[in-house]
Amino acid sequence: MLAIIETGGKQYKVAAGQKLKIEKLPPGEGEPVVFDKVLLTADGDSVKVGAPYVGGSKVEGKVLKQGRGRKIIVFKYHSKTRYRKKKGHRQEYTEVEITKVK
């Protein structure tokens, strides 16, 4: 059984037992998390497509860890004008293990 969920403004194709990194969520490590914005569910030949969401479907998971990604350097430069700006950014993420697709 697989599903397509929406979280953090992005869509993810998930199945039970899968681990994925998503945008930061409030629950702490080891706590359960429920995704109720399910766009599609498929179990063998039966496929349910939501408009926009599938009613009564949800995906349950467990937060494995909270973390921060690698540093990304943003460098802005204009030639001949002495304009240089350097800025760094580290995106926060939540690693989740999908436990159940309903």
**What are the phi and psi torsion angles at 69 (to 5°)?**
-75, -175
Instruction: Identify whether 27 is part of a domain.
Output: yes
What residues are paired with 93 via a beta bridge? Answer: 23, 67
Instruction: Identify whether 77 is part of a domain.
Output: no
Structural domain that includes position 17: 2-66+96-101
- What per-residue confidence (pLDDT) applies to 30? 95
What residues are paired with 47 via a beta bridge? Answer: 42
- What per-residue confidence (pLDDT) applies to 12? 98
Q: What is the pLDDT along the chain (102 residues), one digit of tens a residue?
A: 999 999 999 999 999 999 999 999 999 999 999 999 999 999 999 999 999 999 999 999 999 999 999 999 999 999 999 999 999 999 999 999 999 998
Instruction: Identify whether 11 is part of a domain.
Output: yes
Instruction: Identify whether 32 is part of a domain.
Output: yes
- What per-residue confidence (pLDDT) applies to 42? 96
* Count of structural domains within the chain: 1
- What per-residue confidence (pLDDT) applies to 60? 97
Give which of 7, 100, 11 is closest to 61, Cα–Cα: 100
Instruction: Identify whether 72 is part of a domain.
Output: no
- What per-residue confidence (pLDDT) applies to 80? 97
Instruction: Identify whether 71 is part of a domain.
Output: no
pTM as predicted: 0.86
Instruction: Identify whether 89 is part of a domain.
Output: no
Instruction: Identify whether 8 is part of a domain.
Output: yes
